[in-house]
Structure 1
Amino acid sequence: MTERTKKLMLSDRELKDFWLIRDGYHFFQAMAAACEFDLFTFLSRNPKSSQEQIHKHLGITPYATRALLFALATARLVEREEGGERPVYRNSKAAEKFLSHDSQYCMVPIVRRARQVYYRPMFFLYESLKTGRHVGLDDVPGKGNTIYEKLSQNPEQEKIFHQAMDATSTFFNPHLAVVEELKQVRHLVDLGGGDATNAIKLAQLFPDLRVTVYELPTVCAKADSNIARHKMEDRVRSFAGDFFKDPFPEGIDAVFMSHVNVIWSEVRNIELLRRCCEALPSKGKVICYNLTANDTETDPPGAAGMTLFFLALASGNGMAWPHRAYIEWFEQCGLTHTRTYRVKEPYDHAIIVGQK
């Protein structure tokens, strides 16, 4: 064995990790199929279920059940326990936390969005890298230069997309309670606030706060419905327009952006932050809540994966930007960075606060 061959020897764990990535499309589809069957919720409520019990619950053939469980066990999403009359299965810790509907961290809507909205267009990552254009967007029906514009013309996919965003908001909204600066705010505009899930939570957390959701007209209709359902019309409202070119609502003293900056290039983010600064009074606040890369751009996995999504599909130029990028943008736009709140669970985010 040559010295070079010795250096290339992999441990069993390293080898398995490689195969899980190389064959990742198989294992993602296995996870997505199990989510559609709601298998992980079943196993959460019925741990140590046999293959026969699972097959009866899923309503598929014994062979299909066996193949699915083989893939899920290999991917460490279910665990197989030997020793009794027959093997039994239970959720792994990760599946119990993220894939059961009984968990507050349930990511099933996010998995569904990946399968039904993102998966096919992401096939064109190579072409997007080669051409410098988000070629994956061509696979999405409709007109527009971003996935958000096209989804507004596809009600079913838009619904799936916003259900996933709601799930994401549910994970992270509780962390907003620690943002001391929000106690000083009276009228906040939530840019790209979707169906007002964030806005409603902010109003509930801070009783003196009024929130305006600035969104596209088709999304405002969903926001209005959600606001009415929560009986929050006196403190939360929608405002239709394009925040890159239309005026901001009047009388605001803070701008909140959740998962907005990741969509755009550095140039567009600076443009947007300058617009925010112009709309705010002296000492007005800008609060950016986003998935962030580490400063060496080598981790975490969620940030790297989402960056490829922005490159190939969403807008062609977004990224899970590192924390240092926000500080640099703030300085260019007349904002002073005052504080950063780190959010590690369920995956790396930061709440970055600036003041005019």
Structure 2
Amino acid sequence: MTIDHKPDDILKLARQFMESRILLTAAELNLFTLLDEVPSTAENLAGRITADLRGMTILLDALSAMGLLIKEPDGVYRCSPDVAACLSDRSPHSVLPMIHHANHLWKSWSNLTSKVSGTESAEIPASTARNTDDMRAFIGAMHVVGAPLANKIVTAVKPGEARNLIDVGGASGTYTIAFLSTAPNMKATLFDRPAVIPIARERMAEAGMADRVRFVAGDFYADELPGGHDLAMLSAIIHQNNAAQNVELFRKVLHAMVSGGRLW
């Protein structure tokens, strides 16, 4: 199959990054949350976050042209309920964490030319604060992806009489929460890197389940897993490993299970 490319099609493709950048910048400045709270003029909003008025006005007008904001005749900008549900951090169904993760990916993808050409300069180590922000954005994005699937996965697994779950690479506990909600007598071990554990503790506390979860910090590539479990969950791990890494990971999971335990 051949595609008859027209110049306009190519130019449209080259310009598509512009709308993405507008959305990412608005999310980075948390404008959707601010306007969900209080509709504002560009001047008021720029004052609230100490931003450049001209730049803020252009950004808000662009968002309005994209249909992501509504601009009233008196110059007040506001979020419609459907946009606020997706992009305000006040919404329980917000995809804002995924947008923040995309913002961090933007920085990586911007180095594609130098990476491919072999001219990439030595990378400057990121600050601790930046690493923490990146981690929170990634973990938040994984929750956005996993939350709509979690209950369906638990239904498919059928935990039955299982009482001790280990969630390997459990992130903020999206699947752990779903399992514990379904099985009131179940307890869980959430295993992930040390930097992730505080994020998991926060989400478990919000869910009222922290007392049913043992949080274990570690690296499943380097460390053994804690034992005594009859159900194991592996999510978004196997696809990134080579065959040898997966064989080793499965060995560790096996040793973490009691006789008759199941792996999902």
TM-score, normalising length from structure 2? 0.71
Does 97-106 or 66-75 show the bigger shift? 66-75
Percentage identity across aligned positions? 24
Distance 1:194-1:34 versus aligned 2 partners, 3 A rule:
same
RMSD: 4.1
Match of 2:159 in 1: 183
1:163-178 matches, within 5 Å, as 163-166=137-140, 168-169=142-143, 172-173=146-147, 175-178=149-152
Q: SS at the partner of 1:211? A: strand
> How far off its partner does 1:209 sit?
1.4
Match of 1:29 in 2: 21
Which residue identity lines up with residue 171 of structure 2 in the other structure?
G
Pick the aligned partner of 1:111 from 99, 121, 124: 99
- The answer to whether residue 91 in structure 2 is matched with residue 100 in structure 1 is no
Q: SS at the partner of 2:88? A: coil
- The answer to whether residue 256 in structure 2 is matched with residue 264 in structure 1 is no
Match of 1:58 in 2: 46
Q: In structure 2, how many angstroms separate the alpha carbons of the residues matched to 1:197 and 1:259?
A: 12
State the number of aligned residues.
256
Match of 1:284 in 2: 261
> How far off its partner does 1:110 sit?
3.1
- Any stretches of 5+ residues in structure 2 without a counterpart? none
- Any stretches of 5+ residues in structure 1 without a counterpart? 143-152, 288-356
Q: In structure 1, how many angstroms separate the alpha carbons of the residues matched to 2:28 and 2:241?
A: 32
Q: In structure 1, how many angstroms separate the alpha carbons of the residues matched to 2:144 and 2:200?
A: 16
- The answer to whether residue 191 in structure 2 is matched with residue 214 in structure 1 is yes
Q: In structure 1, how many angstroms separate the alpha carbons of the residues matched to 2:149 and 2:254?
A: 25
Distance 1:128-1:62 versus aligned 2 partners, 3 A rule:
closer
Q: SS at the partner of 1:217? A: coil
- The answer to whether residue 146 in structure 2 is matched with residue 162 in structure 1 is no
TM-score, normalising length from structure 1? 0.56
Distance 1:54-1:166 versus aligned 2 partners, 3 A rule:
same
> How far off its partner does 1:68 sit?
0.8
Counterpart contact for 2:41–2:75, Cα < 8 Å: no
1:229-244 matches, within 5 Å, as 232=209, 234-244=211-221
Q: In structure 1, how many angstroms separate the alpha carbons of the residues matched to 2:165 and 2:201?
A: 17
- The answer to whether residue 118 in structure 2 is matched with residue 123 in structure 1 is no
Q: In structure 1, how many angstroms separate the alpha carbons of the residues matched to 2:70 and 2:11?
A: 20
Distance 1:167-1:8 versus aligned 2 partners, 3 A rule:
closer
Q: In structure 2, how many angstroms separate the alpha carbons of the residues matched to 1:214 and 1:31?
A: 34
Q: SS at the partner of 1:102? A: coil
